[in-house]
Amino acid sequence: MKQPIRVGIVHDYQLFSDVVTALLHQEEEITLIGEAALDLDGMVPMEYALSFDVMLIEATMARMNAVHVTREIKRAAPAVQVIVLGVEYREEEVLRFIEAGASGYILKSASYTELLHTIKAVHRGLTLCSPRIAALVFARIAALTRAQSQRPCPHQVHLTRREREVLQFIALGHRNGEIAHQLDVALDTVKRHVANICKKFQVHGRRAVIQRAYEHGMLKGAGRAPLAGVAGPSGRR
């Protein structure tokens, strides 16, 4: 036999709880375990939260910050699905609950049928919210995407052909003397190239140069920087 969904309520408004409780007691698929008792600080004991599959949290509690309670429950018991009831249709409020880890969001104008559907959906592992809230979330994502695309491109680094050659040797772990020998140039010339490369990347040190070069896609096989301190093919660090 399928186990009923264990549901609990966190609130500080008794009439709200009584109404929801009376309705949920009529559902065979749901077992309403009880209401969260508040401690002296007005918080929900975390051991209480572990008893539930789904936790209903009143969004407008006076004694507790519902966003904080949601975050703490998800931190202590990640498997517990949180549904926030009575959410105002305000963008920032909705997004705060989303960031805190709530799986369902019920507006004040929602019906009991919507609540029941949301409880069953989040218990199956779905993240559910009303079409209005979904539209709000997608609008925020679109706005963030536009803002991201409008950001200026990162600082472009332009190296000379010789500086690029020196950069490749640096990435392979070669020291300045070895680079000078390979390129058949004076040691001071290599030092000058290395100094110029550091200046253009706006960093200090060979490891930082390598990391920045990979970020700019300027090294062969770019896409993953070598671990700091790992020697190149030359066997030297």
Could you tell me the fold of the domain covering 5-138? Rossmann fold (3.40.50)
What does the pLDDT read at residue 151? 53
- For the chain, what is the total number of helices (H) and then of strands (E)? 10, 6
Tell me the average pLDDT of the chain: 76
- The pLDDT score that the predictor gives to residue 112 is 86
Q: DSSP character for 130?
A: -
Locate the domains of the chain by residue range.
Answer: 5-138, 153-237
The answer to whether 5-138 and 153-237 have equal CATH topology is no
Choose among 161, 160, 194: nearest CA to 176: 194
More confident residue, 25 or 123: 123
Sequential DSSP letters for 53-83 = SEEEEETT-SSS-HHHHHHHHHHH-TTSEEE
Q: Give me the DSSP letters along 160-200.
A: -HHHHHHHHHHHTT--HHHHHHHHT--HHHHHHHHHHHHHH
pLDDT band at 234 (very low <50, low <70, confident <90, very high): very low
Mind listing the pLDDT tens digit for each residue in 74-125?
Answer: 888 888 899 988 877 676 777 788 888 888 888 777 888 888 888 988 888 8
pLDDT of residue 48: 60
The 10s digit of each residue's pLDDT in 182-212 is 999 999 999 999 999 998 888 888 888 888 8
pLDDT tens readout for residues 32-77:
776 554 443 445 555 666 678 888 888 877 667 888 888 888 888 8
The CATH code that applies to domain 153-237 is 1.10.10.10
What pLDDT, on a 0 to 100 scale, did the predictor assign at position 52? 81
Buried b (16+ CB within 10 A) or exposed e, 216-234: eebbeeeeeebeeeeeeee
